[in-house]
Amino acid sequence: MPFIRVAALAWLLFAQLGWAQNAIRLKTRTIDPQRAVGQGWPVGRALVGGRHYLLQFPSYPGPEVREELARRRIRVLGYVPDNTLAVLVGVTLNLEGLGVSWAGALEAEDKISPVLATHAANAFLVIYYADVDMQKARALAHLEGFEVLENPSLLPAQLLLIGAYQAIWGLAAWDEVSYIMPASTDLLAGTPVMGCPGPLTEAGPIGDYVEVGNGWSKDPNGGVALKYYFETLTNKMDASTVQSEIERAFQEWARHANISYSPGQAQGVARSMDILFASGAHGDAYPFDGPGGVLAHTFYPAPLNSEPIAGDMHFDANENWHAGSNTDLFSVALHEAGHALGLGHSSNPGAVMYPYYRMQTGLTADDIAGVRALYGAAVTPPVASGPTTPVQPPVQTPAQPPAASPPTTPVQPPAQPPVQTPAQPPARGDTTPPSLSMVSPALTIVATSSASIAISGTASDNMGVAAVKWTNSNGDSGTASGTTHWSANVPLLVGNNVVTIRAYDAAGNSAWRAITVVRR
């Protein structure tokens, strides 16, 4: 076939010229294909069928490349900067003739969010590849010792799991798993939430394991000036409110980074974000699914997407949009505007850029750090030169000095009482806090449907444990039974309950442990 001959010629030219391949930027590491040959898959070796790989090409894999991959029963699942496709190989396949310059698979370490190392949680949002059978995904989770929490708000190919942190390494080693991050308390509590499928490119969606893009190219002054154009609006809200809420989202990003926004005069203009509300199929490869599904999607800026689609934001017109309540347009637009700037999803559950929308009033420190990494901090407007108030004329000195004022007596501060020095310093008492541990439950985050939870553990102290008490974030409190071996039955409210256990000794020293219990 002509395409195969062209691809083969491109590969030979690549090999002869020693093309400096672009790096593959993951959240855990950067893969330099030129230096990672031993870690990749030799071009002459057959790929194992039924597995997921990254295939990098010497240049952007356009529609012709993807059509040839489909003919070879290779399913494209996403795009990875730079010039790389995440694919599922359907049958055993040799790479020769495809123009592939490097091939490899994600390691288990690449699938585990770095945030988990410091998050100290045992509740996880696990994202599988889009082709994975979710019954098999559940079976794998159980096999690795995880409990599956049902949540109807989850996006397709995602599971909410509870288990030991150490067990995620075994789960990540399975080929079916794409990425693992901390679960938000909204997901754990079963609170109805809406998910974002992630930023898009013309070649496919961007995986959550991928590092952010480079963003828009800088203007000569070092900043980025962008325009936006409202192509179509929703009839679920007043038109002026729709525009003002989206513009407010833009300005929130501009408050913290060296970017600016201004209205555009036409659609399809370079460095402009077209905003449209649409239903179902609307001209791209990502049709909307009606109320309650995907709320919006956004295309990464150039060069990951070419104009005129670069940075465009699409909203599902069938959603019941609101201002200040669910479904809150500002909160969704704030998240999607982050994608339009080149940000991917964050693994921090409280961040605006976490994969699930929540009511937001502004950016978090995590979001600000992300956008400043691309564009730098917002530039403070220069202070106008000269005084800001009229200059007062100089005071004229009279020829004759004014009459002398009566002398004033300086005000003396009130006398301070003398500090009494004790004859002997107070005796220093016991300052050693007790030792406290929770035996059951063994996890720091627990989900249950019960109206209470039994908590037990041990405590010890050099002078003896006087009492063990508990408090719940819902306002309840009580004293546990026992001291060195203690137990308590703590009532729960629906939602999140943070239960704190404290052990006291006779001198008043205390130690504490806390557990989050989600009553569903």
For residue 206, give the CATH number of its domain.
Answer: 3.40.390.10
Segments in the chain below pLDDT 70: 1-21, 36-44, 120, 380-428, 443-444, 474
Domain membership of residue 395 (yes or no) is no
Distance of CA 54 to the CA centre of its chain: 23
Q: Amino acid identity, residue 249?
A: A
**273 bridge partner residues:** 228
Q: What's the pLDDT score for residue 319? A: 92
Tens-place pLDDT, residues 442-457: 766 788 888 899 999 9
Note whether 478 and 454 are within 8 A (CB): no
Q: What is the CATH number of the domain that holds 114?
A: 3.30.70.80
Q: Which of 56, 44, 70 is nearest to 103 (CA)?
A: 56
Residue 272: CB partners within 8 Å, gap ≥ 6?
226, 227, 228, 229, 264, 311
Question: CA angle, 60 as apex, 59 and 61 as ends, to 5°?
Answer: 110
Same-domain pairing of 238 and 362? yes
**446 bridge partner residues:** 517
Same-domain pairing of 203 and 182? no
DSSP for 364-417 reads: -HHHHHHHHHHH-BPPPPPPPSS-SSPPPPPPPPPSSPPPPPPP-PPPPPPPPP
Q: What's the pLDDT score for residue 44? A: 66
Q: What's the pLDDT score for residue 9? A: 33
Domain membership of residue 413 (yes or no) is no
Same-domain pairing of 440 and 489? yes
Tens-place pLDDT, residues 287-330: 998 888 899 999 999 888 888 899 999 999 999 999 988 889 99
Domain membership of residue 174 (yes or no) is yes
Residue 443: other Cβ atoms inside 10 A: 19
Domain membership of residue 381 (yes or no) is no
Q: What's the pLDDT score for residue 519? A: 83
Distance of CA 243 to the CA centre of its chain: 26
**104 bridge partner residues:** 54
Note whether 325 and 358 are within 8 A (CB): no
**518 bridge partner residues:** 447, 496
Q: What's the pLDDT score for residue 43? A: 65
Same-domain pairing of 24 and 149? no
Domain's final residue, options 74, 105, 136: 105
Domain membership of residue 336 (yes or no) is yes
Same-domain pairing of 213 and 249? yes
**Residue 26 burial by Cβ neighbours in a 10 Å radius (0-12, 13-18, 19+):** buried
Count: domains in the chain: 4
How far apart CA 154 and CA 192 sit, in angstroms, is: 9
Give the torsion sign (CA, 48, 49, 52, 55): positive
Same-domain pairing of 222 and 337? yes
Paired tokens of 198: 């992630």
Q: What is the CATH number of the domain that holds 470?
A: 2.60.40.10
Q: What's the pLDDT score for residue 36? A: 60
Q: Tokens 């397709």: give the residue.
A: 156
Same-domain pairing of 272 and 359? yes
Note whether 358 and 331 are within 8 A (CB): yes
Domain's final residue, options 336, 359, 375: 375
Paired tokens of 306: 């070419």
77: containing domain: 2-105
Residue 74: other Cβ atoms inside 10 A: 23
Domain membership of residue 424 (yes or no) is no
Which H, E and C letters describe 186-207, residue by residue?
A: HHHHCCCCEECCCCEECCEEEC
Domain's final residue, options 62, 81, 105: 105
DSSP code for 462: S
Residue 198: CB partners within 8 Å, gap ≥ 6?
205, 206, 207, 208, 339, 344, 345, 355
Same-domain pairing of 306 and 357? yes
Same-domain pairing of 122 and 101? no
Check: pTM over 0.85? Answer yes or no: no
Paired tokens of 471: 């408090």
Same-domain pairing of 125 and 242? no
Domain membership of residue 512 (yes or no) is yes
Q: Which of the residues are catalytic?
A: 336
Q: What's the pLDDT score for residue 17? A: 32
Same-domain pairing of 98 and 121? no
Q: What's the pLDDT score for residue 327? A: 87
Same-domain pairing of 229 and 268? yes
Domain membership of residue 271 (yes or no) is yes
